[in-house]
Amino acid sequence: MASKKTPPQRASTAPVTAERAGRLYRLLRLLGRKPQPRDELAATLGLGVRGFYRDLEALRTAEIEVLLRAGKYILVGQLTSAIARLPFPDPGLTLGEATQLARGRSKAHRKLKQQLRHITRG
């Protein structure tokens, strides 16, 4: 019997709050429109310099490439692909709800099933 190989998992992203997830989403939308300087982005998002750099690091941890060129930040790649990589806040599901959502065959279902196995094997 041949064993199935599972595709390599992407590095997991750090958990985020709903507020931060929304801010990261807005940051990507802004960068998707046009390159912009840090001061404009931070002001629009209501962030200080340190907060801006923390959010930029969160994007990079999620493997979303953002570059600084000529004093402006630029999103590398497609906006839709970047949005799909954003971390999602903990939805506060019960174990039963998560089990119900894990029924299916998509990559997302498999990922949720794997997490459930990790939780329930102890």
For residues 62 and 113, state if they share a domain: no
This prediction has a pTM of: 0.78
List, for residues 56-74, the tens digit of each pLDDT value: 999 999 999 999 999 999 9
Residue 15: predicted pLDDT = 77
- 22 and 64 share a domain? yes
User: What pLDDT is attached to residue 68?
Assistant: 98
Task: Name the domain count of the chain.
Answer: 2
In three state form, how does the secondary structure of 44-84 look? HHCCCHHHHHHHHHHHHHCCCCEEEECCEEEECCCHHHHHH
Q: How far is CA 39 from CA 68, 73, 77, in A?
A: 13, 10, 23
- The residues, ordered by sequence, that sit 6+ positions from 57 with a Cβ below 8 Å of its Cβ are none
Domain assignment present for 48: yes
Beta bridge partners of 75: 66
Give yes or no: residues 72 and 110 share one domain: no
Assigned domain for 9 exists: no
Rg for the chain (alpha carbons), in Å? 18
Q: How many C-alpha atoms does 95 have within 13 Å on its Cβ side?
A: 5
Task: Tell me, yes or no, whether 98 and 58 share the same domain.
Answer: no
- Reply yes or no on whether the pLDDT at 85 is more than 50: yes
Which two three-digit tokens encode residue 25?
Answer: 């989403």
Residue 7 counted as domain residue: no
Do 80 and 97 lie in a common domain?
no
Residue 35 lies in a domain: yes
Structural domain for 70, as ranges: 18-85
How far apart CA 64 and CA 47 sit, in angstroms, is 20
Q: Residue 116 falls within a domain, yes or no? A: yes
Quote the pLDDT of residue 14: 67
